[in-house]
Amino acid sequence: MALDWTPGRLNSLGFAKPPSETRVVVAMSGGVDSSVVAAQLAEEGYDVVGVTLQLYDHGAALAKKGACCAGRDIHDARRVAEDMGFPHYVLDYENVFKDAVIDEFADSYLGGATPVPCIRCNERVKFKDLLETAKDLDADCMATGHYIQRKMGEHGAELHSAADANRDQSYFLFSTTPAQLDYLRFPLGHLASKAETRALASKYGLSVADKPDSQDICFVPNGDYASVIEKLRPGAGEPGDIVDMDGKVLGSHNGVIHYTIGQRRGLGVGGLASPLYVVKLDVDKKHVIVGPKEALATRMIPVREINWLGDAAFDSQTEWHVGIKVRSTRPPAPAVIRPISATEAEVELLTPEEGVSPGQACVFYDEGSSRIFGGGWIWRGN
C-alpha cells in the first residue's frame, strides 16, 4: 500500500516529493534483510530498482549454502523482484571484487594479519562502484539491508548503531564516508529484532522469509581460510617452527596461515604447566610465536586509513575520548585517540585488551550516544 504524502513534507526516505517520484536502488544479496527492504519500499510506492552483484564464480558456489551473492541468492533476489513487481539487474563484479577484496585478503593473511574482507567489500565495491551505478540509474538514493542507522544531525547525516545490539553491523561499516552517507539509506536499522524482519518478510509473502542467515565470508567455504589462501597463493602453507617468546623451538606447524593472534586450540604443543596462545606471527621466519595469556594484552594500538565522521576535523584536537571496538562481537571499550595526522592516530585503551591483531578494524563510538565516529585499520602489533 502506497504511503500518503503531503506536499511540502519529506517522504520516509527524506525527499520532498511523492514516493512514486523517488527512485531508490536496493542492493539485493538474495537474503531476507535486503529482500524485505526492497519489498517494503515497493509496497510504499517508491520507484524501486533491485541490483544484485555477482562477486565470484557462482557456478562453483552453487553447492555452498549460507553464502551471499552465490547462484541461489541471485535467483532468490530475482524472484522477490518479480513477485513485488520491480525491475532487477545482475551486475558482474567478479574482476572488481577479486582486485579490491580477495587479493588483499590473501596478501594480508600471508603477512600475518587478520583481515576483515566484508569491510573492504562495503568500502570498495558496494558503497563505491555500486553506489555510482545507482547514480547512473538516476536514483535519488541507495538502500541496503544492513543493521545500522542513519540519523540527521545538526551538521548533516550521522551514522548510528542499530537499535538491536545483537544485529548491529556498525563495525563493518565504519569506513562509510560522509558523501556516501548522504546517499545511503538503512531501513532496517531501527527494528528491535531480526524476528521483526522475518515477520515483515512473511507479511509480504517473500519466498526467503525463512532463509537462514549467511555465516561465512562469501568466498571462504565453511570458514576454511587456509585452503582458500593456498588456492590463491600456491606454496603459502609452508611448514615452520612454533617457538616461545625467547625463540626456543617447541614444535612445528604446517603453515603460518593456519594460525591467528589469540589462538589457543590446535597448537600441538602440550605438556606445559600453563596454556599457550599465539601472540605473534613472523611470516619471514615462518615462526608461530606463542606465550602466556598476559602476553596478548595490548594497550597502545596504531591506527591508519582513518575515516572520521565527527563534526569537527579529526586533527583539530590533541585527544578524543571515545569507546572503541577491535572486533565486532565485543562492546566498545573506553579509549583515548591521539591524532598524528588527519588519517593516522595512536589509540590508548584504558583497560588492556587481548588478541588485538594487525588487519583488524578499530572502530570509534561516542560514549554518550549510539553515534559512530568512524574508525581505521590496525597496522602493526605489539
Residues labelled catalytic:
121, 218
Residue 51 near residue 132 (C-beta atoms within 8 A): no
Cα(126)–Cα(131) distance, integer angstroms: 6
Cα distances from 319 to residues 81, 285, 295, 300, in angstroms, run 49, 38, 27, 14
Closest CA to 52 of 82, 78, 33: 78
Within a 10 A sphere around the Cβ of 311, how many other Cβ atoms? 13
Show the DSSP H helices in the chain as ranges: 32-43, 58-61, 71-84, 94-97, 103-110, 117-121, 131-136, 178-183, 194-203, 225-232
The reply, when asked if residue 145 is annotated as ligand binding, is: yes
The reply, when asked if residue 195 is annotated as ligand binding, is: no
What the block records as the C-alpha cell of 211 is: 532463509
Cα(230)–Cα(109) distance, integer angstroms: 11
Residue 149 near residue 161 (C-beta atoms within 8 A): yes
Cα(31)–Cα(93) distance, integer angstroms: 18
The reply, when asked if residue 27 is annotated as ligand binding, is: yes
Q: Judging by DSSP bridges, how do beta strands 249-253 and 184-185 pair with one another?
A: unpaired
The reply, when asked if residue 270 is annotated as ligand binding, is: no
What the block records as the C-alpha cell of 109 is: 593473511
The reply, when asked if residue 53 is annotated as ligand binding, is: yes
Cα distances from 280 to residues 88, 104, 222, 287, 330, in angstroms, run 47, 20, 25, 8, 21
The reply, when asked if residue 34 is annotated as ligand binding, is: yes
The reply, when asked if residue 31 is annotated as ligand binding, is: yes
The reply, when asked if residue 240 is annotated as ligand binding, is: no
Q: Please count the CA atoms within 13 angstroms of the CA of 41 that sit on its side-chain side.
A: 34
Coil, strand or helix: which one is 62?
coil
- Could you say which DSSP state residue 37 is in? H
Within a 10 A sphere around the Cβ of 28, how many other Cβ atoms? 31
The reply, when asked if residue 32 is annotated as ligand binding, is: yes
CA angle centred on 330, ends 185 and 200, rounded to 5°: 40
Q: Please count the CA atoms within 13 angstroms of the CA of 102 that sit on its side-chain side.
A: 19
The reply, when asked if residue 226 is annotated as ligand binding, is: no
Extract the annotated binding site for ATP: 27-34, 53, 145
